[in-house]
Structure 1
């Protein structure tokens, strides 16, 4: 039983639902289940009216006496029981599988935000091309060039973060430094900042619904909110960076200690006897 609010793509054929199976263990007593949309006890609730990404339906999912077969438990019963036993014994459960999954999926969100920023940037370039003010082309105005240069630079910086995180995820490289969250954080912030800056550059025309900038502006905001807010991304990155640094430091100290103990002390060479004085 329960109510899931603000579920993106609520019309999907299946949902992954995290449910509590051992309430006394808190988050350690949770398990993930695959629930199909035709599962008895699952129904759609209120459909949300949003300012942006309106092509994606966001709605509530209501669970009422929703019984899920055991074979739809992600990871299987044996893995869940081991997790519960660790929770009851107080032992650490190690790295979070959910967090690792989010790190892999967040670059795709960053890439989507990046697409909004890129579209807004290219549209603005095309819009300003051929336009002039007091006989001087707008693209030759330094005040215009300053903004366009900043937008282009921020977009490229975000793109490199997204590419790196996507490459790491594709090749199974652990994102122990929060690289996935970095890409989503930067992509979302750049999309929101770029669309705002470009609307300011275009002027009053940009607020018209005939101008695509206003749509990209509305679409951009959600990328600072869903899949973990920008504030949450910063917390994740900071904590993972601190943990990774401590591990690197510990490893470096261990290597230095091993090298020190493995290197034999230099043997002292006997002092040369001085030659006898000439008679």
Structure 2
């Protein structure tokens, strides 16, 4: 992919992909979305459907056994799954997040081993950066990795880890030289089966309840030295470069959730009658829908432009990724809230999916860097 994306110029092949994923999502994922949320269980039906159609990790290059989808195609897959189930969209999204450090900085051997395993559906990938005292200030992490001959020994705890316990592979950021702060952080691949790896209880969350969020505990986890990702001390840089790319996927999740909410709201106002006519005939309702549609399309175009920059590795990706994530997630929160309002009391019940979408939308303003952090990132890019 080399072209930028102007309004309504998404390639025909990508629109065919959208149609395919939408059909799959509506048939195989949507029927289980409410139960997944209600029971706070992993969306196994969605995982099986995505894996069976090679949609669980579409970003993996063909040379490593993947389908080689570009960044825009990956965004479209996540968007269309999120349109029916936010939790399920974290399967392809977090597989990219967890494996992106390997793609960006890993050795060829590491890429073949772990990207190949991901493409073959031998395990999902999670990303371990945050800690109890190191959230927005990730460089203050305490997890340590100490070299011991041909091995590294890791100790610490990583919190808020998406799909923890389900994933087989974990990209873990750990301090290898405490004196160097961010330049003393390195990245490693840890496997679920490594002795000393354990998981805390599932977090009891407001939304995306089907995607388990747990602490990953590392107790003298001894791994081969060749599982380091890139050179020692480059882990923090790799982590930040990863987020430049994957904040675009969170923007995609946000616009997918918002699109699902808008679709349900439009259907409802056409059917709901008050004062002898559909409430869609009332100007106040029409104005709300117009604002929702404008914000959604603006978010989508910004996200697609950021995806193009992600694919090309443009110098301005950092700013575009932050802007897309921030704008799209803010828009999603507004749109889902307005969708609930349009359904009135029904929107507030679990009989309709709007309250779930509103809850799911909230996390997109928080993870992979809060929107306050995104504004700092973007302002610094502008001030350069």
Q: Normalization by structure 2: what TM-score?
A: 0.57
| Correspondence for 1:106 | 247
1:167 aligns with 2:308: yes
- Whether the 8 Å contact between 1:158 and 1:186 is mirrored in structure 2 is yes
Counterpart of 2:162 in structure 1 is 8
1:97 matched residue in structure 2: 238
- Structure 1 equivalent of residue 61 of structure 2: none
Q: Return the match for 1:181 from 318, 322, 336.
A: 322
Which runs of no fewer than 5 residues in structure 1 stay unpaired? 85-94, 244-279
Structure 2 counterpart SS, 1:18 = strand
Partner of 2:187: 32
Q: Does the CA-based 8 Å contact 1:3-1:63 persist in structure 2?
A: yes
Kindly indicate whether residue 176 of structure 2 is the aligned counterpart of residue 21 of structure 1: yes
Question: How far apart, CA to CA, are the structure 1 residues paired with 2:340 and 2:318?
Answer: 34
1:205 has 2:357 as partner: no
Whether the 8 Å contact between 1:3 and 1:60 is mirrored in structure 2 is yes
Equivalent residue, structure 1, for 2:219: 64
- Check conservation: 2:176, 2:232, Cα contact below 8 A: no
Instruction: State the partner residue of 1:251.
Output: none
Q: Distance in 2 between matches of 1:137 and 1:30?
A: 59
Is the contact between residue 103 and residue 175 of structure 1 (CA under 8 Å) also seen in structure 2? no
Residue 132 of structure 1 deviates from its aligned partner by 2.4
| Structure 2 residue corresponding to 1:144, chosen from 285, 297, 306 | 285
**RMSD between aligned alpha carbons?**
1.7
Query: Number of paired residues?
Result: 229
Determine the C-alpha separation between the residues in 2 that align with 1:193 and 1:42. Answer: 40
**Unaligned stretches of 5+ in structure 2?**
1-154
Q: Is 1:52 aligned to residue 207 of structure 2?
A: yes
1:177 is displaced (CA, Å) by 5.4
Check whether the contact 1:165–1:175 (CA below 8 A) recurs between aligned residues.
no
Counterparts in 2 of 1:177 and 1:241: CA distance versus 1, 3 Å: farther
State the 4+ residue runs in structure 1 displaced beyond 3 angstroms. Answer: none
Specify the alignment match of 2:126 in structure 1.
Answer: none
| Counterpart in the other structure of 1:80 | 232
Q: Deviations over 1:188-231 (max 9, x none)?
A: 11111111112122211111111111110111111111111111
> For 2:248 and 2:352, how far apart are their aligned partners in 1?
28
Instruction: Give the match for residue 115 of structure 1.
Output: 256
CA distances 1:23-66 after superposition (whole Å, capped 9, x unpaired):
11112111001111111111112211212111111111100011
Residue by residue over 1:238-270, the C-alpha shift from the partner in whole angstroms, topping out at 9 and shown as x without a partner, is: 111211xxxxxxxxxxxxxxxxxxxxxxxxxxx
Shift in Å, 1:126: 0.5
Separation of aligned partners in 1, 2:346 and 2:184: 54
Which whole-Å CA distance do the structure 2 matches of 1:176 and 1:190 have between them? Answer: 20
- Deviation of 1:176 after TM superposition, in Å, equals 4.7
Matched, 1:135 2:276: yes
Does the aligned pair in 1 maintain the 2:299–2:324 contact within 8 Å? yes
